[in-house]
Amino acid sequence: MPIRPLVLFVASEIYPFSKTGGLGDVLGALPLTLHRLGVNVAVVTPLYGRLKTADIPLHLMYSDCHVGYPWSPTTCDVYLADFHGMPVYFIHREEFFDRRFYYNTYKGDYFDNCERFIFFCRATMELACLLAHPPAVIHVHDWQSGLIPAYLHFWRQTGEWWKQTKSVTTIHNLAFQGRFSSRLFEGCGLPPESWGMNGVEFWGDLNMLKAGIAYSDMVTTVSPSYAEEILSPAFGCGLEGILSSRRDHLTGILNGADYEVWNPSQDKYLPATYSADDIAGKYACKKALIEELCLSPELMDRPILGFIGRLRGQKGIDLLINILPELMRLNVGVVVLGEGKLEYEQHILGMMEDHLGRLAARVSYTEDLAHRIQAGSDIFLMPSRYEPCGLTQMYALRYGTPPVATAVGGLRDTITPWPHPQATGFTFPIPQPASFLDAVRQAVALWEDKDQWAALRDRAMRQDFSWTRSAMQYMDVYRTLGAAL
């Protein structure tokens, strides 16, 4: 039997086992799509204490696997799950991953995040040495696995095992870089020559995402527009220099939407299902959402505007808070689901009292409610200041909830803005309240024209962002690196 080249994905989240946002969704879908296209894929991820195994049994694969970080006898256990025929390896070390949250508490980041994810990277490298053959490609995601391409770069210069292995880093969000004190560089296992402006050093600190950017054979990000934007100081978060120096090895591949999970015609969380050909269920979902969130029944005759996302500056929640009083004067309903910065959480909750029956805010992370808001709303709000890709607007399109979004990053790449004849939503040029409000007004005005709205909604629902196209682009990347898939 010829050896099938292995693509080893490494990431800190994979839905349905773990998720804090879009990264989890991507890992829950992209590797599996590649697997179904015939690529030999496996995923490595931490075994969190709060892990949901989704009824998939985990089997102990290796116990006391040597890691050697942060002190030499340190080991990990490795568990294996069969996720629809694709292996998922879980790195287990209680003191690092058995916590209530993934990366931070309400008080801030865990103090030892650097050690936790250096440990994860090193454990993954050790695990990869226990496989039957070296991986053809190691594909890492975001800062949590960013050191791996650096290890690979140096270790393949000396170690036979790694000679043929190539690396890909995917940037899902440049704002999160895994930046830590230089002190933590010592002992992480990288040679001194990696400490410099072309390596892992960033203004005197250790930068784990920069390690991935500097040492990967290929760097990708999650939309073509974001791949352009991050070369400029406005979006580069200080890494525009190193990204520009690697621009020949940088490409943007648009994420997809997992229509097995996000599909109103088979969504297990909805009170009624529907599709572009049979929209009736959407009204039932709207009615149920109104009841669930104690909104005014009068809103059946007015549009409901939905927002789902992290309550942070990136998502422009402050812009929404700013224009809320104006929105209320438009006699619409607004639904917000999110958690994040305490200041925004309190602000939006406080506003509910002034707009009872019109504004419903839920400060929590509730997967099933996110589905019901997608289905029960009429218009989806996404006033992001930057958006590497954004998945919620793709879900909103499929759920017949045309988005109003900033024309930035992946939002630009997925929404055809009104008044284009093929429009699927609305965009506005700058993330400022007046600009956002103008776009919402346009959307509400169009919603009042039932025929035009039905046509726009129909086009939105028929958009196809399924993962196959993106997965095939990743296959091209792996092949360019020499992997004979």
In this chain, which residue has its C-beta nearest to ligand GLC? 22
Q: Would you give the DSSP letter of residue 358? A: T
The correct pick among 8, 23, 336, 397 for binding ligand GLC (CB under 6 A) is 23
Q: What distance in Å separates the CA atoms of residue 428 and residue 221, rounded to the nearest whole number?
A: 23
Q: Is 114 among the residues that bind ligand GLC (CB under 6 A)?
A: no
Q: Is 391 among the residues that bind ligand GLC (CB under 6 A)?
A: yes
Residue 365 binding result from ligand ADP, ligand GLC, none, given CB thresholds of 5 to 8 Å by partner type: ligand ADP
Q: Is 142 among the residues that bind ligand ADP (CB under 6 A)?
A: no
Nearer to ligand ADP, 27 or 440 (CB): 27
Q: What distance in Å separates the CA atoms of residue 249 and residue 306, rounded to the nearest whole number?
A: 38
Q: What distance in Å separates the CA atoms of residue 20 and residue 13, rounded to the nearest whole number?
A: 8
Handedness of CA 373, 374, 376, 382 (dihedral sign): positive
Q: Please count the residues of this chain forming the interface with ligand GLC, following the rule CB under 6 A.
A: 14
**Residues 6 or more apart whose Cβ sits within 8 Å of residue 68:** 74, 122, 126, 189
Minimum CB separation of residue 52 from ligand ADP in Å reads: 14
Q: What distance in Å separates the CA atoms of residue 223 and residue 407, rounded to the nearest whole number?
A: 13
Q: Please count the residues of this chain forming the interface with ligand ADP, following the rule CB under 6 A.
A: 17
270-329 residues in contact with ligand ADP (CB under 6 A) are: 308-310
Q: DSSP string of 318-334?
A: HHHHHHHHHHHHTT-EE
Residue 179 backbone phi and psi in degrees, to 5 = -105, 125
Q: Which stretch in 39-47, 188-196, 389-397, 413-421 sits in contact with ligand GLC by CB under 6 A?
A: 389-397
Residue 308 binding result from ligand ADP, ligand GLC, none, given CB thresholds of 5 to 8 Å by partner type: ligand ADP
**Does the annotation place 19 within a ligand binding site?**
yes
* Helix and strand numbers, DSSP H then E, in the chain: 17, 20
Residue 240: both structure tokens together: 């525009």
Q: Is 269 among the residues that bind ligand ADP (CB under 6 A)?
A: no
Nearer to ligand GLC, 104 or 157 (CB): 104
Residue 222 binding result from ligand GLC, ligand ADP, none, given CB thresholds of 5 to 8 Å by partner type: ligand GLC
Q: Is 200 among the residues that bind ligand GLC (CB under 6 A)?
A: no
Burial of 7 (0-12, 13-18, 19+ CB in 10 A): buried
Q: 384 and 408 in contact (C-beta within 8 Å)?
A: yes
The correct pick among 11, 12, 14, 25 for binding ligand ADP (CB under 6 A) is 25
Q: Is 311 among the residues that bind ligand GLC (CB under 6 A)?
A: no
Q: 97 and 45 in contact (C-beta within 8 Å)?
A: no
Binding map of ligand GLC across residues 118-157, x = CB under 6 A, - = no contact: ----------------------------------------
Q: Is 27 among the residues that bind ligand GLC (CB under 6 A)?
A: no
Query: 15-38: string of b/e by CB count within 10 Å (b at 16+)?
Result: bbbbbebbbbbbbbbbbbbbbeee
The correct pick among 134, 264, 388, 403 for binding ligand GLC (CB under 6 A) is 388
Edge-to-edge order in the sheet of strand 426-428? 359-362, 333-337, 304-308, 379-382, 403-406, 426-428
* Interface residue list for ligand GLC (CB under 6 A): 21-23, 26, 172-173, 222, 255, 387-391, 410
Residues comprising the binding site?
A: 19
Applying CB under 6 A, the residues found at the interface with ligand ADP are 21-22, 25, 308-310, 337-339, 365-367, 370, 389-392
Can you say which residues are annotated as belonging to the binding site for ADP-alpha-D-glucose?
A: 19
